[in-house]
């Protein structure tokens, strides 16, 4: 049970860092347009504060992730961490006035259903990792 | 500039993102899952002396720039859904490299996520 709370709170923190990261990434890209694969693009990118928000999201998610990964098998842990698609979708419709089109809604439903399946796959049976004793 | 349409450049950035994300995650798993690593600070020092964690970090640094370029060319709500294919790539790779089992439920999850990404990619 103690481990259950550890995972729940850990994954919530992970989703929060991932959402902050994704939003910052989008702002960083928007403020560095047009996309060019040269030094000028990198200078535009790193000359604005947004990219550092993305770095904070990345670093925060990294340490949360490495702490969780010590015990969690990579597949299901990765799936649980990807519930951020929902939070990021809703935030981007609100923040960037993006259109919510039908294929996106249907695709998101299928993806979330798939993520839920992966979660169930893990709770129904503990699949020992290679090397786990 | 975000058009919502998948141009050849967007597709290339998408593939590179999947490859770097999967490679980085597998490297992190190799670092974090090492039973000889110990605990606490000693665990971090042990990981820092081995290449896996650095390989993972290098993959992530390149992926960082690729992902920003990708997001610049697409709506974030669409890009984040297309990025979900990483779940499938990582589970399939975890199966082949770390022997993580693909149960029926996991296969169903993988198929549903793939279907969702296809719907977004083709219909979006």
**Domain spans in chain B, listed from the N-terminal domain onward:** 8-123
Q: Give B-chain residues touching A48 at CB under 8 angstroms.
A: none
Q: How many domains does chain A have?
A: 1
Task: Report the residue from A29, A73, A106 with minimal CB separation from B68.
Answer: A29
pLDDT confidence of residue A69: 78
Specify the higher pLDDT residue, A63 or A8: A63
pLDDT confidence of residue B57: 93
pLDDT confidence of residue B114: 96
Which residue range(s) make up the domain with A78?
2-124
Instruction: Give a yes or no: residue A84 inside a domain.
Output: yes
Instruction: Please say if the pLDDT value at position B58 is more than 90.
Output: yes
Q: How confident is the model at residue B76 (pLDDT cuts 50, 70, 90)?
A: very high
Instruction: Please say if the pLDDT value at position A74 is more than 70.
Output: no
Q: How confident is the model at residue B29 (pLDDT cuts 50, 70, 90)?
A: confident
Mean pLDDT across the stretch B72-81? Answer: 92
pLDDT tens, A4-36? 788 788 888 888 998 998 899 999 999 988 888
Instruction: Give a yes or no: residue A9 inside a domain.
Output: yes
Report chain B's mean pLDDT, rounded to a whole number: 89
Instruction: Locate B102 and state its tokens.
Output: 């693909």
Instruction: Give a yes or no: residue A131 inside a domain.
Output: no
Q: Considering only CA atoms, give the Rg of chain B.
A: 17
How far does B112 lie from chain A, in Å, by closest CA? 5
Quote the crossing angle between the two packed helices B8-32 and A74-81, to the nearest 10°: 130
Task: Report the residue from A35, A66, A110 with minimal CB separation from B69.
Answer: A35
pLDDT confidence of residue B54: 95
CA dihedral A10, A12, A15, A17 (to 10 degrees): -70
Which residues, other chains included, contact A75 with Cβ-Cβ below 8 Å and sequence gap of 6+?
A118, B90, B91, B94, B95, B100, B106
């Amino acid at each position: 049970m103690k481990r259950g709370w550890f995972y729940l709170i850990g994954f919530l923190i992970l989703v929060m860092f991932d959402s902050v990261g994704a939003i910052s990434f989008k702002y960083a890209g928007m403020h560095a347009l047009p996309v060019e694969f040269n030094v000028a693009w990198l200078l535009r990118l790193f000359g604005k504060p947004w990219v550092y928000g993305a770095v904070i999201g990345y670093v925060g998610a990294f340490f949360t992730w490495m702490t969780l990964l010590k015990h969690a098998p990579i597949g299901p842990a990765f799936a649980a961490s990807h519930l951020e698609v929902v939070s990021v979708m809703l935030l981007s419709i609100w923040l960037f006035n993006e259109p919510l089109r039908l294929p996106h809604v249907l695709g998101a439903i299928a993806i979330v259903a798939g993520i839920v399946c992966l979660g169930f796959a893990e709770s129904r049976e503990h699949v020992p990792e290679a090397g786990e004793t | 500039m975000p058009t919502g349409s998948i141009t050849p450049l967007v597709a290339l950035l998408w593939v590179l993102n999947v490859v770097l994300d999967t490679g980085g995650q597998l490297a992190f798993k190799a670092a974090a899952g090492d039973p000889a690593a110990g605990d606490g600070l000693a665990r971090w020092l042990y990981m820092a002396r081995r290449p896996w964690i650095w390989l993972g970090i290098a993959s992530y640094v390149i992926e960082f720039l690729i992902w920003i370029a990708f997001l610049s060319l697409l709506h974030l709500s669409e890009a984040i859904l297309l990025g979900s294919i990483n779940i499938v790539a990582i589970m399939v790779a975890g199966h082949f490299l770390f022997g993580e089992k693909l149960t029926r439920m996991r296969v169903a999850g993988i198929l549903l996520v793939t279907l969702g990404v296809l719907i977004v990619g083709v219909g979006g």
